[in-house]
């Protein structure tokens, strides 16, 4: 059985100092044996990535950027390079978060390139997908989710590790968590789809208003391999309550 994954998406929050304080506090509270059965992933805002790298350097906590450019280097003012993140120890990278798709018009061609780039550089991509409320209400959930996955995973090396994060857009930051039946249905179908597409090493996270009180039920659902957590990951204690369900 693969380890459970607890991933924190800090979005545009936390100064480097606040990020370092979180890391120190987290490391004093988490037990070493926790990592025998679980993985912890932190996605800080870019200015705080170096501070996080310093604090977590000798720990089992993984960290990486929330978004990268499709090229590794060059004249791309304002963009983030995967290679530079890797130079400070990044092992993971968030790709295709709905806020990137929605506000920054990240399209499927770019998302597919970013997944490939991560795999080439031996960085684990955490690929987000999920439907809007409109999609769900018009019974398009599976069409939309499968389309996003097909586009993002075109010509991908199926032997490499890949982490998917099912995040219904209507559940992100709204306090409106998906029901167990909704999560179960999507995770089951996505699991089958990935298996029939020959992917061998993948996990599927759920994300969207995860808190300690709803996480307990969700973690028991088949093929829910962990969570991608926004708001509730910003404080050490609320994040740890989810890690130690």
Asked whether position 243 contacts ligand PGA by CB under 6 A, the answer is no
The residue annotated as part of the active site, out of 99, 106, 167, 187, is 167
Compute the distance between CA of residue 182 and CA of residue 90 in angstroms, rounded to an integer: 33
Is 79 annotated in the active site?
A: no
Shortest Cβ distance from residue 87 to ligand PGA (Å)? 26
The residue annotated as part of the active site, out of 39, 55, 97, 99, is 97
Interaction mask 135-174, ligand PGA, x per CB under 6 A: --------------------------------x----xx-
Compute the distance between CA of residue 124 and CA of residue 226 in angstroms, rounded to an integer: 15
CA distances from 131 to 8, 144, 172 (A): 21, 6, 11
Stretch that binds ligand PGA, among 67-75, 82-90, 139-147, 207-215 (CB under 6 A): 207-215
Residues 105-134 that bind ligand PGA (CB under 6 A): none
Candidates 210, 236, 240, 242; binder of ligand PGA (CB under 6 A) is: 210
Stretch that binds ligand PGA, among 52-60, 68-76, 129-137, 229-237 (CB under 6 A): 229-237
Q: What is the largest CA-CA distance in the chain?
A: 48
Asked whether position 229 contacts ligand PGA by CB under 6 A, the answer is yes
Closer of 102 and 122 to ligand PGA (Cβ): 102
Asked whether position 242 contacts ligand PGA by CB under 6 A, the answer is no
Is 97 annotated in the active site?
A: yes
Compute the distance between CA of residue 231 and CA of residue 133 in angstroms, rounded to an integer: 20
Closer of 133 and 192 to ligand PGA (Cβ): 133
Nearest to 244 by CA among 5, 27, 28, 34: 34
Strand partners of residue 193: none
Asked whether position 228 contacts ligand PGA by CB under 6 A, the answer is yes
Q: Which residues bind ligand PGA (CB under 6 A)?
A: 9, 167, 172-173, 207-210, 228-232
Catalytic residues: 97, 167
């Amino acid at each position: 059985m693969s380890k459970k994954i607890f991933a924190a998406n800090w979005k545009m929050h936390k100064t480097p100092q606040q990020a370092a304080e979180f890391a120190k506090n987290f490391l004093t509270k988490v037990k070493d044996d926790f990592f025998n059965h679980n993985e912890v992933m932190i996605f800080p805002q870019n200015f705080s990535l170096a501070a996080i790298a310093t604090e977590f350097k000798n720990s089992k906590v993984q960290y990486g950027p929330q978004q990268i450019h499709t090229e590794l280097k060059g004249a791309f003012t304002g963009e983030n390079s995967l290679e530079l993140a890797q130079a400070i120890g990044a092992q993971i990278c968030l790709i295709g978060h709905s806020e990137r798709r929605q506000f920054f018009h990240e399209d499927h061609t770019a998302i597919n390139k970013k997944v490939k780039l991560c795999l080439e550089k031996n960085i684990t991509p955490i690929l987000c997908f999920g439907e809007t409320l409109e999609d769900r209400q018009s019974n398009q959930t599976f069409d939309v989710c499968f389309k996003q996955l097909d586009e993002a995973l075109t010509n991908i090396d199926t032997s490499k590790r890949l982490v998917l994060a099912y995040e219904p857009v209507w559940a992100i930051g709204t306090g409106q968590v998906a029901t167990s039946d909704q999560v179960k249905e999507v995770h089951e179908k996505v699991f089958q789809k990935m298996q029939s597409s020959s992917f061998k090493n993948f996990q599927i996270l759920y994300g969207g208003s995860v808190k300690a009180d709803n996480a307990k039920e969700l973690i028991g659902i088949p093929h829910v391999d962990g969570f991608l957590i926004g708001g509730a990951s910003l404080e050490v204690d609320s994040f740890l309550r989810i890690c130690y369900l």
